[in-house]
Amino acid sequence: MQFLISVLRSVPLFYVVLMWPGRYVLWGLWDSDAYYPALMYDSGVWSVRLLIAALAVTPTLLLINRIGRGQALGRWLLPRRRHLGIASALYAGLHLIHYVRALGGLDAIIFDLRFLAYQTGWASLILLLVLAATSNARAVRAMGKGWKRLHLWVYPAGVLALWHWYLLDWYTGRILFWCGVFMVPIVAKWVLRRVRVRFFA
């Protein structure tokens, strides 16, 4: 039993689980024949999915507190919110690496920056990397209250990522679906903080 608890608490194992669905993206770093559109799609989609998962932790904890059940799950989830956000940034970083490798030069990257589709992508990436770099106890202590204000930028980062995706994909149905999923934890957090009805009393 103690071994199982240790496994569930293992941070390296948690990252293996998070990165496993995108293993093709990692393998593409060494495989020159990897299919570029698949590398870009998978890395971008998993970055968005994990960002949404990180946002979903707070309303989940609020719900657990409200219903008075599932505290063990809450204690397990709380420290993993940070790792979900970092994993989202890792996928975004892989997205960038494959993009830069495919273009092959700074001139092509600068040329792409003329277009809103790439401007939104770069802006989202920069925000995610800043948030990941400050997702540690030292940054929390050093920044004080400013840390929470900085990490509110996770919402614009998500909006920019979805906008970037839409401008390159133009598949309206798919983007509307993910926009809806993105809004679920945001709306749930707002409702749970303002509605004072206790569930399952």
pLDDT at residue 172, rounded to an integer: 87
pLDDT at 125 over 70: yes
pLDDT at residue 134, rounded to an integer: 95
At residue 187, φ and ψ (nearest 5 deg) are: -65, -40
pTM: 0.91
Q: How do residues 153-172 score in pLDDT, each as one tens digit?
A: 999 999 999 999 999 988 88
Q: How do residues 25-49 score in pLDDT, each as one tens digit?
A: 989 989 888 899 999 999 999 999 9
User: What mean pLDDT is reported for the chain?
Assistant: 90
Question: What is the amino acid identity at position 183?
Answer: M
pLDDT at residue 200, rounded to an integer: 43
Distance between CA atoms of residues 164 and 122, nearest Å? 9
Q: Are the C-beta atoms of residues 22 and 91 closer than 8 Å to each other?
A: yes
pLDDT at 198 over 70: no
Residue ranges covered by each domain of the chain: 2-194
Question: What is the amino acid identity at position 36?
Answer: Y
Q: Distance of CA 137 to CAs 50, 57, 74, 82, 129, Å? A: 21, 18, 19, 10, 16
Distance between CA atoms of residues 180 and 185, nearest Å? 10
pLDDT at residue 145, rounded to an integer: 87
Average pLDDT over residues 115-122: 97
pLDDT at residue 196, rounded to an integer: 63
pLDDT at 183 over 90: yes
Quote the tokens at residue 74: 């809450």
pLDDT at 83 over 80: yes
- The number of angstroms, rounded, from the C-alpha of 44 to the middle of its chain's C-alpha atoms is 10
